[in-house]
A = this chain, B = another copy of it.
Amino acid sequence: MNDGYLEHEKEVVYRVIAERRDMRHFLPTSIAPELLTKLLQAAHHAPSVGLMQPWRFIRISDIHLRKAIHAQVNEERMKTAQAIGEFETTARMAEFMRLKVEGVLDCGEVLIATLCDHREKHIFGRRTLPEMDMASVSCAIQNLWLAARAEGIGMGWVSMFDPVKLAKLLNIPDGAKPIAILCLGYVNSFYKEPMLVEEGWAKEKPLSEMLMENHWQDVDSK
């Protein structure tokens, strides 16, 4: 029987998982190309449904494109604020507007993660759950996040954008779909807690509220 890793090695794995943060504050220091490739290789080691490897990464090196992406994020940020004002409260909208929700212009590297095109050909594990392609790319992004954390590089996953508009800007074809603007960069320090907790936007619920046995129990009423 396989016995797993040594105690101090296990600790590193738990530690990197616990210390990873969704970052929005970056230093402008650039990331060495070999290191970026190493991080992307970690992403590429992700599991994928039926081995379809649906992840594609577009590195944004053109500063004009980066600015255009930032403008799209800002546009969606305003629409999100409006929606929060409508469906929650005006106070909540004001709170939202005070949050730093992205570091697109500040970070060392911007990557766009997209789902590949021609995904309908992949039936294995997707006949009833076509969204398994999104799951696979998300696992790749989590790998990237953890490897970056170990390298002292912060990452933020920005999902505040219109995928149709972003696809148009980057010539992403029909069938493919951008799902993440990834901001990567060195940081002064990693947040001790998730930034949304530090800023008082949200409270974390404990694991115990997420667990059930054999059948669904209403966790809200526990």
Contacts and interface: CB of A to CB of B under 8 A. Distances in A.
Interface of A: 1-5, 9-10, 12-14, 16-18, 20, 22, 27, 29, 37-38, 40-42, 44-47, 49-51, 53, 55-62, 65, 76, 79-80, 83-84, 87-88, 96, 114, 116, 121, 123-129, 131-132, 134-139, 141-143, 145-147, 149-153, 157-163, 170-173, 176, 179-180, 186-190, 194, 196-197, 201-202, 204-205, 207, 210-216, 218-219
A157 B22 CA distance: 25
B179 A135 contact: yes
B127 A83 contact: yes
A104 B84 CA distance: 42
Contact of A5 (B18, B88, B150): B150
Contacts of A62: 214
A210 B140 CA distance: 12
